[in-house]
Amino acid sequence: MQNQNISDIIERYLKSILADSRQVEIRRSEIAQLFNCVPSQINYVINTRFTIQNGYIVRSKRGGGGYIRIAKVNLTEDSTILDDLINLIGDEIDLNKAFQIIQSLFQDGFLSRREANIILASLDKKTLAFKSSKLENALRARILVNVLNRLRYDD
């Protein structure tokens, strides 16, 4: 545990709770107190590790009775989630975010390891080796959106 940072520990803690249920409701200050860190550290973990491309939806309510609700979603069961994901991709996506999406689909059991690896190979920097990263990210987005749409309608 010496090589782990506090963000990794908080992430693992929240994911262990989510392993038992598909949703967790937390109070930022309580979690910060539990891990003896500042509340902004909790925000950082949630904003970077519990994203839609990682298969999570986060809702929050601010104020005295405020909470943060994290829900694990199956990206392919709910078409609105796929629509949100496609909107998030937009006209460009970098390799890291594309990888997170494919990894979530694999972890949800919607893609086999082989299928995920084939898709990742088509999105890789070596495949899309353009001098312009903007062009590379645009082409990656087009490929990924088409793959997601194909998965949605293919039995």
In tens, the pLDDT along 55-80 reads: 888 988 877 667 899 988 766 666 67
Could you tell me the pTM of the whole model? 0.65
Q: Is the pLDDT of residue 1 over 60?
A: no
Query: Do the domains spanning 6-72 and 79-153 agree at the CATH topology level?
Result: no
| Domain 79-153, architecture per CATH | Orthogonal Bundle (1.10)
Boundaries of every domain in the chain: 6-72, 79-153
Two structure tokens written together for 117: 């690896």
Residue whose C-alpha is closest to residue 74's, from 29, 23, 38, 39: 23
Q: How many helices (H) and strands (E) does the chain have?
A: 7, 3
Residue whose C-alpha is closest to residue 123's, from 154, 100, 150, 151: 100
In tens, the pLDDT along 4-55 reads: 799 999 999 999 988 888 889 998 889 999 999 998 899 999 999 998 878 8
Strand order in the sheet with 23-26: 23-26, 67-72, 56-61
For the domain made up of 6-72, the CATH class stated in words is alpha beta
